[in-house]
């Protein structure tokens, strides 16, 4: 069996673990980029035993970076959600948590020179055409790793992540159906939803549609687990309505994202349970929080109805990993919506990628 050696860096960004590759490591090799990633992560295999993947949607992620060619940004960033059960790589969206590693990586690799105080790194996300403004405290021109964050065991470098003018980057509109509230039905049940595109295309389902109004987090978990197939059908219907796919069957697994939201708990404005690749998400996608924050600014959306008002400021979200605070501000007259995350480098490695066919490829 021949081997392809690929340099990579393992980093934690927010509540995701990401393998970071420089684009030059993946291009012009004897295998296509998707095949390299699938073999590197050990897919398709629910355990990802023969690769570096972690067997969950939050630990099967690749970040591909190179210095930006131009003056508008500093770093070009391409995100890949690597399939676990299926030999697929989804390029259709961005991961906000993984984006938290980009500025730190650029500083550590010398692509961006840190200043004494706060270093700003402008990141271009190739998947969505989104510019992300990242700021890292760098006293004495060095990142410090003392910031703690809910959902992570160890401290990391604080990264403020702001999505610049994020509305409609994938579909062309903040509300792709031009409706703030859309009712969707499946299996005899009707769900009140808001379909919104900011950060990533998202579907937000009113918890009342599942009978979860006023219920505990444990009750949410029990009911949502019994409705995963229904909720995925709602997500696939939304994919068609948002113009992301021509049919439910052709809907991508990664987008649109779907979340169940209800009235606030634990002192937060709203409670949220996101789904990821057909399963409950253990935390909160940053891109999902951007979409949710922007949708609260519009009357009669599911989020604003649950809040009982519209708001143009950030909101607090009760997530499975703790309370997350978002912010909403402006830069040069354009809206900026985001969150604070932490990031750190875990290890640098050489991944030995087998070039021989996977069993799923034999006979093709």
Over the stretch 236-286, which tens digit does the pLDDT of each residue have? 999 999 999 999 999 998 899 999 999 998 899 999 999 998 999 999 999
- Judge whether 217 lies within some domain: yes
Q: Are 105 and 83 in contact (CB under 8 A)?
A: no
User: Phi and psi dihedrals of 191, rounded to 5?
Assistant: -120, 130
Taking all residues of the chain, what is their mean pLDDT, rounded to a whole number?
Answer: 95
Cα distance between residue 1 and residue 50, in whole Å: 14
What value does the mean pLDDT take over residues 101-107? 98
- Judge whether 227 lies within some domain: yes
Outline where DSSP puts E strands in 126-175.
130-138, 157-164
- Judge whether 324 lies within some domain: yes
Beta bridge pairs of residue 326: 339
pLDDT at 4 over 60: yes
- Judge whether 277 lies within some domain: yes
CATH of the domain at 217: 3.10.310.10
pLDDT at 1 over 80: no
Taking the CA atoms of residue 173, residue 337, residue 200 and residue 28 in that order, the dihedral angle to the nearest 10 degrees is 110
pLDDT at 309 over 80: yes
Question: For 172-218, what is each residue's pLDDT tens digit?
Answer: 999 999 999 999 999 999 999 999 999 999 999 999 999 999 999 99
- 3-class DSSP assignment, residue 102: helix
Question: For 47-64, what is each residue's pLDDT tens digit?
Answer: 999 999 999 999 999 999
Helix axes 217-226, 228-241, angle to 10 degrees: 70
Where helices occur in the chain by DSSP H, the ranges are 23-26, 33-41, 96-108, 217-226, 228-241, 286-295, 302-307
pLDDT at 161 over 90: yes
Question: In the structure, what pLDDT confidence band is assigned to residue 356 with cuts at 50, 70 and 90?
Answer: confident
What value does the mean pLDDT take over residues 69-74? 96
Cα distance between residue 103 and residue 197, in whole Å: 24
Share of the chain above pLDDT 70, in %: 98
Cα distance between residue 55 and residue 51, in whole Å: 10
pLDDT at 363 over 80: no
Give the pLDDT score at 357: 76
- Judge whether 271 lies within some domain: yes
Instruction: Domain count for the chain, please give it.
Output: 1
Type and span of the H or E element at 339:
strand 334-354
DSSP 210: G
| Pair type for strands 182-186 and 279-280 | unpaired
- Judge whether 43 lies within some domain: no
Nearest to 184 by CA among 250, 229, 246, 230: 230
Cα distance from N-terminal residue to C-terminal residue, the chain: 19
- Judge whether 305 lies within some domain: yes
Give the pLDDT score at 265: 84
- Judge whether 156 lies within some domain: no
Question: In the structure, what pLDDT confidence band is assigned to residue 230 with cuts at 50, 70 and 90?
Answer: very high
Within 10 A of 75 (CB to CB), how many other CB atoms are there? 22
Domain span holding position 210: 182-328
Cα distance between residue 328 and residue 318, in whole Å: 18
pLDDT at 359 over 70: no
Q: How many residues does the chain have?
A: 364
Cα distance between residue 224 and residue 242, in whole Å: 23
Give the pLDDT score at 133: 98
Share of the chain above pLDDT 90, in %: 93
What value does the mean pLDDT take over residues 118-142? 97
């Amino acid at each position: 069996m021949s081997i392809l050696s690929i340099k990579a860096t393992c980093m934690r960004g927010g509540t995701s673990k990401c393998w970071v590759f420089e684009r030059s490591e993946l291009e012009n090799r004897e295998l296509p980029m998707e095949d390299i990633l699938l073999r590197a992560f050990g897919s398709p295999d629910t355990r990802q035993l023969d690769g570096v993947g972690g067997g969950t949607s939050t630990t099967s992620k690749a970040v591909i970076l190179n210095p930006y060619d131009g003056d508008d940004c500093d770093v070009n960033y391409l995100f890949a959600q690597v399939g676990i059960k299926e030999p697929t790589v989804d390029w259709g969206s961005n991961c906000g948590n993984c984006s938290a590693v980009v500025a730190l990586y650029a500083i550590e690799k010398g692509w961006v020179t840190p200043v004494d105080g706060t270093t700003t790194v402008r990141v271009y996300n190739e998947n969505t055409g989104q510019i992300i403004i990242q700021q890292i405290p760098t006293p004495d021109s060095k990142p410090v790793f003392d910031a703690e964050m809910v959902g992570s065991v160890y401290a990391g470098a604080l990264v403020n992540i702001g999505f610049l003018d994020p509305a409609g980057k994938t579909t062309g509109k903040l509300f792709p159906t031009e409706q703030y509230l859309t009712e969707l039905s499946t299996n005899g049940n009707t769900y009140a939803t808001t379909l919104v595109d900011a950060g990533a295309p998202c579907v937000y389902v009113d918890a009342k549609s599942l009978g979860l109004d006023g219920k505990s987090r444990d009750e949410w978990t029990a009911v949502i687990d019994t409705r995963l197939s229904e909720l995925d059908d709602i997500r696939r219907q939304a994919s068609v309505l948002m113009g992301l796919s021509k049919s439910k069957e052709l809907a991508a697994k990664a987008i649109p994202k779907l979340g169940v939201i209800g009235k606030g708990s634990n002192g937060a404005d709203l409670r949220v349970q996101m789904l990821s690749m057909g399963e409950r998400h253990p935390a909160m996608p940053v891109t999902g929080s951007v979409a949710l924050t922007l949708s609260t600014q519009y009357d009669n959306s599911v989020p604003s109805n649950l809040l009982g008002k519209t708001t143009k400021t950030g909101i607090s979200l009760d997530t499975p990993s703790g309370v997350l605070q978002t912010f909403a501000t402006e830069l040069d007259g354009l809206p900026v919506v985001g969150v604070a995350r932490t990031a750190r480098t875990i290890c640098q490695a050489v991944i030995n990628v087998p070039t021989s066919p996977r069993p799923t490829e034999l006979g093709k």
